Amino acid sequence: MTDAASRATWVLVDGENIDATLGTSILNRRPQPDERPRWDRLVSFASRVWDQPARGVFFLNATSGIPMSFVQALKAMDYVVVPLSGAPDEKVVDIAVQRTLQALVDRPADVLLVSHDGDFIDDITALVGADRRVGVVAFTEFRNSGFTAIPGLEKFDLEYDARVFDAPLPRTRIIPIDEFDPARFLG
pLDDT of residue 176: 80
Q: Answer for the pair 165, 35: CB distance below 8 angstroms, yes or no.
A: yes
pLDDT of residue 95: 98
Distance, CA of 58 to CA of 88 (rounded, Å): 20
DSSP 42-61: HHHHHHHHTTS-EEEEEEEE
* Coil, strand or helix at 13: strand
Distance, CA of 100 to CA of 95 (rounded, Å): 9
Give the residue ranges of the chain where pLDDT is below 50: 1-3
Q: Indicate the class that CATH gives domain 9-186.
A: alpha beta
Sequence-ordered strand ranges (E) for the chain:
9-14, 54-61, 80-84, 110-114, 134-138, 154-157
Q: How many helices (H) and strands (E) does the chain have?
A: 6, 6
Q: Lay out the sheet containing 80-84: strands in order across.
A: 80-84, 54-61, 9-14, 110-114, 134-138, 154-157
Amino acid letter, 124: I
**Domain locations along the chain:** 9-186
pLDDT of residue 86: 94
- CA distances from residue 166 to 37, 101, 162, 173 in whole angstroms, order as listed: 8, 30, 12, 18
pLDDT of residue 2: 42
> Taking the model in full, what pTM does it have?
0.90
pLDDT of residue 21: 96
C-alpha dihedral, 23 to 114 to 126 to 149, nearest 10°: -60
Q: Answer for the pair 163, 41: CB distance below 8 angstroms, yes or no.
A: yes
